Structure 1
Amino acid sequence: MKYFAVFLPMKDKEKSQSYRPQHLTFLERMKEEQKVLMYGRFPDGAGGLVIYRAKDMDEAISHLKKDPFVQVGARDWEIHEWELVSEYEFD
């Protein structure tokens, strides 16, 4: 499996606020299915970052296009394959 970093820059702040619960539910489900490694928002309000786990770019794009933020146009997206060099466990 490969990893893909997806930047979700803010496109529509109102839609982002309205669809945030659905977006978070989607990401939690994807994490439980081991299709998302981690995710988080940028504190400055610029958007967020999701690290997807997929066999290839097409599969990763297929996953991200199911994100409510993307579906309703709340966020733009930019994807890059990402190589995980090291993983740490924190308490």
Structure 2
Amino acid sequence: MTRKYLVMAMRTPNFDAATIEPHRRFLDALLERGQLQESGKFTDGSGGAYVILAESLDAAREIAFTDPVHTSGSSELTVYEWEIAVSA
């Protein structure tokens, strides 16, 4: 069963703006594969979040931890299984 996972990507002191474009390509690839539901940045510049679809928390972490903002050390990622209570 596919579940939703919220990925919080918070910028580290080592943030490098050069990782933004590879990060966007990473998200585009997830979207093309049907694994990305939504994504966005925080307006205060501290990072962003995205919702991925996966079979398990381990699978979601495996996907998220290949994100270039993570592999470069530019952002710290935390992945949560997200049970939606209310949706429009």
Superposition TM-score, scaled by structure 1 size: 0.87
Whole-angstrom distance in 2 between the partners of 1:63 and 1:46: 22
The offset of 1:72, in angstroms, is 0.5
1:9 aligns with 2:5: no
Ranges in structure 1 where 5+ consecutive residues have no aligned partner: none
Trace 1:23-38 onto structure 2 (pairs within 5 A).
23-38=23-38
1:18-57 deviation line (CA, Å, top 9, x unaligned): 1111000110110110111111100101100010100000
1:63 aligns with 2:63: yes
Number of residue equivalences: 86
What is the RMSD of the two structures over their aligned residues, measured on CA atoms? 1.2
Residue type at the aligned position of 1:41? K
Q: Could you tell me the percent identity over the aligned residues?
A: 23
Counterpart secondary structure, 2:29: helix
Ranges in structure 2 where 5+ consecutive residues have no aligned partner: none
Whole-angstrom distance in 2 between the partners of 1:35 and 1:84: 17
Superposition TM-score, scaled by structure 2 size: 0.90
In terms of fraction of residues, the more strand-rich structure is 2
The offset of 1:84, in angstroms, is 3.0
